[in-house]
Structure 1
Amino acid sequence: MSGIWGNKLRLSIFGESHGEGIGVVINGLPAGLEIDFELIDKEMKRRAPGRNKISSQRKEADSAQIISGYFNNKTTGTPLCAIIRNKDNRSQDYDKTKELLRPGHADYTGYIKYKGFNDYRGGGHFSGRLTAPLVFAGAIAKQILMQSNIVIGSHISSIGHIQDDFFDLVKVDAKTLNQLSKKDFPIVNDEKGEEMIELIEKVKLEGDSIGGTIETAILNLQAGLGEPFFDSVESKLSHLLFSIPGTKGIEFGRGFEIARLKGSQANDEYYIKGSEVKTYSNNNGGILGGITNGMPVIFRAAIKPTPSISLKQKTVDIKHMTDTEIEIEGRHDPCIVPRAVPVVEAVSALAVLDLLMEQGGKFNE
């Protein structure tokens, strides 16, 4: 099993890429919440495959059916379970290579852990398809966070060597984040976006793939959320962010760049604004000592290139224990970064909601 995440808000996901369906069970939602299904549909469409020529051409509506925890158009407070049926699964693409370990995939580790009984089709339970129920759950969390005016937004920070403009760590605003959420290819600098799309199309023609980074901002978090050390805000967010297939790195604020600065450059100096304490800079990304300081929480996630590529690669036949080669067929994203953007936002919303609930936050009252 994949386990259960969360403290006050508890989450588990189930299903396989080419099985009957995938889904999520959410414990801890407040009773009496009327779910905004338009918001859910918008978020699901942002992640869904087949939307443009630079994503997988698998066609899935990703329509979630709630089968428990929702009655008379309101949450009941009991576990909410939703299932998303798989419709366009071409499992025959995987029959020829079922005993060949795909480089970069979890085929080998899954084979070892589950003693060869793992579902190999499309990655099975390890597939990025399992991020769809995360987006469903995250959309509900986003809706609840709106009650506290908490806004979460992201942009594609880089694809390969092409870098978008960074968020202003101090002045990033809700208007910018909301505008980005409406873009098919969420980018700050549209010219850089065109270069990124050209690069993705180029590597697709080569039968290859490319990775990138996503920068996310969380606005209007109160100071004092989180715990030092083991339950820091960074720990909470990173736990879920590393649950997204393909995530290989997280950095907050100035991130790894801060290691090259002097203390006089890295420290965020304070000032009073009205009745609030603010900082002139935000090099620490809105978190000090594992606890929010009231400034925007800013982080970047590194997403690796899609491991499914059509170029010939060296591998092994796990059944016969022989060296061989593999050429992967099927429908795959040449770059998973654009479709990962709403997933990053979704898990961020879930982490923040759990933090607020731990702090004693009350919702829908």
Structure 2
Amino acid sequence: MASSIGKNIRISIFGESHGPAVGVVLEGIRAGTKIDLNELNCLMIERMGVDIPGTTARKEEEHLEFLSGVIMDSDYSSCHANGAPISVIIRNEKFNSDDYTKNEGIIRPGHADFTQLVKWGEYADIVGGGHLSGRLTAPLAVAGGVCLQILAREGIELSAGLRSLGRHELSCKASEAFGSQNFCSEISTIVESAKNEGDSLGGIIWVKAKGLPPGMGEPIFDKVESKLGQMIFSIPAVKGLEFGSGFEGAHMKGSENNDEFCLTNEISAGAKPANLDEAEHCNEAEISHENAKTENLHGVTLTSNNCGGILGGITTGTDLCFNVAVKPTPSISKLQKSVNLKTQQNVLFGTKGRHDVSVAIRTVPVIRAATALVLYDLFIDYKENHNG
């Protein structure tokens, strides 16, 4: 079972949804690196979805227990890495296995019960999803949260939000302010409607990284997209990923999808780039020029960002932008056809329990954290290659 990933920054995830604890071992963090525990706890609260409509009623206080790799400050508000592997566990406390016991033998539609049983037979732990549960995103968020802090000190800022929920596009105001009153107000009616029908919703998450230097990424198999893809698709319920114009770009002409080049000082001065007749080619909403690191670009930048900040698997120095598709929560109370493997009978099955109406909502901070793990790993290579 491949539950480890990374090169310079390596993580190993362990535990099961209804086991004693879940946890992570994080390697590669330099001795002396400060970890703000208050900031880390804020990320974990965001992942819990506290006070956000449509999220699970299983609200566990995700108390982080550091077992190794850090020296705690006297007030326990922060700690410093000591250079050894950092191991953290989060104890599972508020799980209820009764519903799974009552329905033993029934494979749940949309879940990995069937594939786990095919692969591991009687030894498969499928209660609550076992090791494949969304609960395992908690330790992933811990490790990524550490990298988020380190990247911020390097001037690299990661943001993410919910672009759509089901077939409902969220307003920019709500999408940009994940977890805010505006956000909760806008999604409340959407999730309540699905919940009353005993159903669930998927969603699309947008991600943006500002401040990345040009030149990160190692073609051919260590492209930025390749590394992010492996990580993002390791998150439960993720089913799609597109960079920049993505699938929409397939419907464009080359003249529409190509990002044209211009001199950085023309953009900074608000001047119209030479030989461009259409103002939309310089849409500031699409690209953040003030955050583009162009010291290695000879004063050249892009006039749009259909490439999503990546060309040839290498960062351009402009915003890295991508969207993530998250499938609807498979646990729904609406009856669906399934099979009881023990009795060898067809059955109608509806899930009982405390489940998210849309798992996409709580996946937003997890995506940010997972992205940080990949980008910091690539950033270390970049600094070494540039004598940094």
Establish whether TM, by shorter chain, passes 0.5.
yes
Q: Which moved more, 1:117-126 or 1:280-289?
A: 117-126
Match of 2:351 in 1: 328
Could you tell me which residue of structure 1 aligns to residue 105 of structure 2? 99
Pairing partner for 2:300 from 254, 260, 277 = 277
Match of 1:13 in 2: 13
Residue 153 of structure 2 corresponds to: 147
Match of 1:230, SS?
A: coil
Structure 1, 86-95 or 52-61: larger mean CA deviation:
52-61
- 2:46 is matched with 46
The partner residue of 1:238 within 229, 232, 236 is 229
For residue 42 of structure 1, give the secondary structure of its aligned residue in structure 2.
helix
Where does structure 2 lack aligned partners over 5 or more consecutive residues?
73-78, 266-294
Judging changes above 3 Å, is the alpha-carbon distance between structure 1 residues 160 and 184 closer, same or farther for their aligned structure 2 residues? same
Counterpart check, 1:262 vs 2:253: yes
Q: Secondary structure at the match of 1:231?
A: coil
Identity of aligned residues (%): 42
Mapped contact 2:144–2:369 kept (Cα < 8 A): yes
CA distance change for structure 1 residues 132 and 360 in 2, over 3 Å: closer, same or farther? same
- Aligned partner letter, 1:19: G
Provide the rounded CA distance (Å) in 1 between the counterparts of 2:384 and 2:360.
Answer: 33
Deviation, structure 1 residue 33: 1.2
Give 3-state SS (helix, strand or coil) of 2:131's partner.
Answer: helix
1:142 to 1:67, Cα distance in 2 relative to 1, 3 A: same
Match of 1:84 in 2: 90
**Quick check: 158-167 or 233-242, which moved more?**
158-167
Q: 1:327 offset after TM fit, Å? A: 2.0
**CA–CA distance in 2 between the matches of 1:338 and 1:3?**
24
- 2:166 and 2:54 map into 1 onto residues whose CA distance is 15
Instruction: Give the drift of 1:100.
Output: 0.3
Whether 1:108 and 2:114 are equivalent positions in the alignment is: yes
Distance 2:322 2:52 in 1: 27
Contact 1:98/1:120, CA 8 A, preserved across alignment: no
Matches within 5 A, 1:130-145: 130-145=136-151
Match of 2:319 among 273, 288, 296: 296
CA contact (8 A) 1:49 1:60 kept: no
Q: Give 3-state SS (helix, strand or coil) of 2:368's partner.
A: helix
User: How far did residue 50 of structure 1 move?
Assistant: 5.1
Counterpart CA distance in 2 for 1:360 and 1:221 is: 12
Task: Tell me the residue number matched to 1:352.
Answer: 375
* Aligned-partner SS, 2:383: coil
Which string of whole-angstrom CA distances, capped at 9 and with x for unpartnered residues, describes residues 235-268 of structure 1?
1111111011000000000110001111111110
CA distance in 1, matches of 2:18, 2:52: 22
Moved more, 3-12 or 305-314: 3-12
User: Counterpart of 1:25?
Assistant: 25
Aligned residue pairs total 348
When structure 1 is superposed on structure 2, of 270-279 and 58-67 the one drifting more is 270-279
Counterpart code for 1:184: G
TM-score by length of 2: 0.85
Q: CA deviation at 1:83?
A: 0.1
1:34 corresponding residue in structure 2: 34
Alignment of 1:154-303 (within 5 A): 154-164=160-170, 180=177, 183-185=178-180, 190=182, 194-274=185-265, 276-303=299-326
How far apart are 1:121 and its partner, in Å?
A: 1.8
Q: Distance in 2 between matches of 1:278 and 1:165?
A: 29
Q: Distance in 1 between matches of 2:95 and 2:236?
A: 19
CA distance in 2, matches of 1:128, 1:47: 11
TM-score normalised by length of structure 1: 0.90
Question: 2:342 pairs with 310, 319, 329, which one?
Answer: 319
**Is the contact made by 2:23 and 2:88 (CA closer than 8 Å) also made in structure 1?**
yes
- Structure 1 equivalent of residue 268 of structure 2: none
SS of the aligned residue for 1:114 comes to: helix
Give, in angstroms, the shift of residue 185 of structure 1. 5.0
SS in 2 for 1:99: coil
Structure showing greater Rg: 2
Q: Note the alpha carbon deviations across 1:203-253, whole angstroms, 9 max, x for none.
A: 001110011100010001000000222111011111111011000000000
Contact 1:68 1:81 in 2 (8 A): yes
Match of 1:337, SS state, is: helix
Give 1:26 shift.
Answer: 0.7
SS at match of 1:314: strand
Cα distance per residue 1:307-354 (max 9 Å; x no partner): 000011111112233322212111100111111100000000000001
